[in-house]
Structure 1
Amino acid sequence: MPTVPMPLRCLLAGTAVLLPLAATAAAPRYIDLADRVGPDDTPGDRQFHELNDWIIYEFNDICADFFCSGGYANYRLLRLSCVVDTRSDSIRHCRLPVAASRDQVDPGTGALRTDVRHWLCPVPLPRGLPVTAFLGALDWQPDSSGHLFNVLPGSGRSLFDALQDCLP
């Protein structure tokens, strides 16, 4: 039986100890809610993505009545952005990024100037809110006018309230 030289044995032993640590370190502590796969979910689960689509649809539907007037037009809610703490499967924080633009045509030259503004509207949530409680609160509710109007856990406010507080 061949003998393994001592330096090689030390290297192999060190690698055996460090590999499990490297695998543990590779798992991120914080992830985007859009990338989360919950304990009962399968990869590619659409719950968050469908919810996000509904929130954007509802924003576009009510924008003219509440937000899309004044100096800027063409408001777009980009998406619901949330950070998940993977150790506790809880929401760290969320925001609603919104962009709007204003176009001006120079009548003499035909030049087009576009001004773009954006807002990062914080979502009022308590620290450590479980992801399942957050998604459950935003799911369809029989007594609500839509996902934007559902009361968020721990704050008594809604995504609509957050947008009203934030947008001009």
Structure 2
Amino acid sequence: MATPRSMRFSGRLAAAACGAILLASTLQIAAAAAKPAYAGPYVDASAYIHGEDQINAWYGMTWQLKRDFDDICGDTFCEGEYTNTEALRFSCSVHRTSGRIGMCLWVFAASDERIEPSTGKVVAQTQAWHCRTPLAPGTTLEELLAAVQGRSPLYAPLPGGRGSIFDGLVDCL
């Protein structure tokens, strides 16, 4: 027959074992959640770029694209139904080993707000666009960055003679 002292020891041992099992299962779940669902060959351009020159070229291009768009917005794309149009993010998928671009996409959001005079309610119409950049197949990120370097990237001719990023916007917005 077990004594009260041995029952306390076995109770503590059982509690410690349960705690260890719970901790181990929690760690396994956390480790599984930290892994990407699928580690494919394409990554975001910001994860692909390396070295100070490429980093500066990529972020300089994306910053200048937004400025270029803001400069022309009022005279082109921002007239009409949606007068409040914002350039959101310019993204490219890049093959992690070859550097070839899978696709570049520039996302825009717009709204038009009006006041309901009888209620004071603000009514907003919203719209979003996903504008694909007209890149030639096989274009590398290095080729894209070289093509727009030192220029206004919105209007720079893209590698492969497919126009400019602006041309892609004309077809999209």
TM-score class, shorter: 0.7 to 0.9
Q: What are the equivalent positions in structure 2 for 1:1-168 lying under 5 Å apart?
A: 28-38=40-50, 41-42=51-52, 45-141=55-151, 146-167=152-173
Count of matched residue pairs: 136
Q: For structure 1, which segment, 81-90 or 27-36, has the greater mean C-alpha deviation from structure 2 after superposition?
A: 27-36
CA distance in 2, matches of 1:79, 1:42: 21
Larger radius of gyration: 2
Displacement, 1:73?
1.1
Displacement, 1:27?
6.4
Structure 2: runs of 5+ lacking an equivalent: 1-37
Deviations 1:25-73 (A, max 9, x none): x9652111122233xx159933211210100011001111111010111
| SS class of match (2:170) | helix
Normalised TM-score (structure 1): 0.74
Of Structure 1 and Structure 2, the greater helix share is in 2
| SS class of match (1:149) | coil
Displacement, 1:79?
2.1
Normalised TM-score (structure 2): 0.72
The amino acid of 1:69's aligned partner reads E
| SS class of match (2:154) | helix
Query: Taking every aligned residue pair, what percent have the same amino acid on both sides?
Result: 33
Moved over 4 A (4+): none
CA distance in 2, matches of 1:79, 1:119: 11
The amino acid of 2:99's aligned partner reads D
The amino acid of 2:48's aligned partner reads R
Going from structure 1 to structure 2, the CA distance change for 1:138 and 1:75 (only over 3 Å counts) comes to same
CA distance in 1, matches of 2:40, 2:154: 30
| SS class of match (1:132) | helix
CA distance in 2, matches of 1:126, 1:45: 23
**CA RMSD for the aligned pairs?**
2.0
Whether the aligned pair in 2 keeps the contact of 1:124 and 1:155 (CA below 8 Å) is no
| SS class of match (2:89) | coil
| SS class of match (1:121) | strand
Whether the aligned pair in 1 keeps the contact of 2:135 and 2:162 (CA below 8 Å) is no
Going from structure 1 to structure 2, the CA distance change for 1:42 and 1:149 (only over 3 Å counts) comes to closer
